[in-house]
Amino acid sequence: MNRKLFIILAVVAVALYSYVAFILAGGSLPKQAKRNSANNNAVHVDKLVLNSVLVHFENRDRDPFLPYKEKPKQPVVIQEKPKKSSAVVAVKESPKPPSIRVTGIMWNPTSPVAMVNMPDGASTVAKAGMTIGEVTFKKIEKNRIQVAYNGKDFWIDR
């Protein structure tokens, strides 16, 4: 029984393979199309041109196999205006904490994540070490986060 089944499957497989090879070789074209074309294997240039995408390459004297190197930037020279001496000494104000609101903390000891509303109104998810705008998220604890803003660290409670 198994031999008969194997022989039947082998005959069907050979027949299907032959049919697919016949189709791929161009055997399924109608007779009229075969008569009209002088060479069935000819490559038609108009089909190649119509199906191609125009690509423009610029020579920028870069080798694609070498790592990218940034060109050194020219230093900007700023001319300072002479300062006027004033008797009034300006008192430095301590930087104010950013207007960030913590909407949630997803606590995991290995990778905690905080959901925050930023000063510009955008809601985002922050991890420790991320910098968004001028705010750097330094540490995330269970009930609060530590951020650096204008050179100073702030703790923001949930």
Question: Each residue of 27-54: pLDDT tens digit?
Answer: 655 555 555 555 556 656 555 555 566 6
Give phi and psi for 138, each to the nearest 5. Answer: -90, -50
pLDDT of the residue at 6 = 92
Spatial CB neighbours of 120, under 8 Å, sequence gap ≥ 6: 133
**Nearest in space to 104 (alpha carbons), one of 153, 144, 146:** 144
The CATH number of 101-157 is which of 2.60.40, 1.20.120, 2.30.30, 3.30.70? 2.30.30
156, 142 Cβ separation under 8 angstroms: no
Domain boundaries, the chain: 2-38, 101-157
pLDDT of the residue at 116 = 92
44: which DSSP letter? P
pLDDT of the residue at 10 = 94
**Nearest in space to 109 (alpha carbons), one of 142, 158, 147:** 142
Instruction: Per residue of the chain (158 residues), give pLDDT as tens.
Output: 789 999 999 999 999 988 888 887 776 555 555 555 555 566 565 555 555 666 666 777 777 787 877 777 777 777 777 666 655 555 666 777 788 899 999 988 888 999 998 888 888 899 999 998 888 999 999 999 999 988 899 999 88
User: What string of DSSP letters covers 61-97?
Assistant: S--TTSPP-PPPPPPPP-PPPPPPP-SSPPPPPPPPP
pLDDT of the residue at 86 = 58
Q: What is the mean pLDDT of the chain?
A: 78
